[in-house]
Amino acid sequence: MAIIPPGDHKAYMRLALEQAQKSPPKPTNYRVGAVLVDSAANKILATGFTLELPGNTHAEQCCFLKLAEKHGVAEENLNNVLPSNLALYTTVEPCSKRLSGNLPCVERVLRLAGAIRTVYVGIMEPETFVAENTGKKSLQDAGISVVHVQGLEKEILEVATAGHTKA
């Protein structure tokens, strides 16, 4: 993986977009990419993309599951093994509701509230599948900053909605 200068949020978002492009296009989900970074060390800890792992997996979920496996812990115990100044870059705002019944990505991030300090998003979730995503508010209420990284919205939306029927 390329070395990204500390604080180059757009470069990290581009990396998340590269992850999203690996996701298979489907009419029933967004193609999303995620990158988890140790901000203090400027080190990428994990990456993920929609449907990377078996099941109806989301990008953030894949990122956390791979990291949990690497550390030999359950995903819900990741907070015990991670440094405390992490940044999550995700091309689309983390979901607050899963129609599949899986744990929403916002709840997964909230479990890591002591470690994840900032969530950088490329676009807010369009209201295609969930009418009102409350993810941003839930994260902010838990003391996690949510920052919009501007400049890649068009590309992110094109990748996210590939496979969707155009109205």
Q: Which residues are catalytic?
A: 60
Is 23:92 a contact under the CB 8 Å cutoff? no
CB hemisphere CA count around 4 (13 angstroms):
21
The candidate with the shortest Cα–Cα distance to 107, out of 85, 135, 79, 133, is 135
Cβ-based burial of 152 (10 A; exposed 0-12, middle 13-18, buried ≥19): middle
Q: CA–CA separation, 59 vs 90, rounded Å?
A: 8
Is 104:94 a contact under the CB 8 Å cutoff? yes
Neighbours of 113 (CB within 10 A): 13
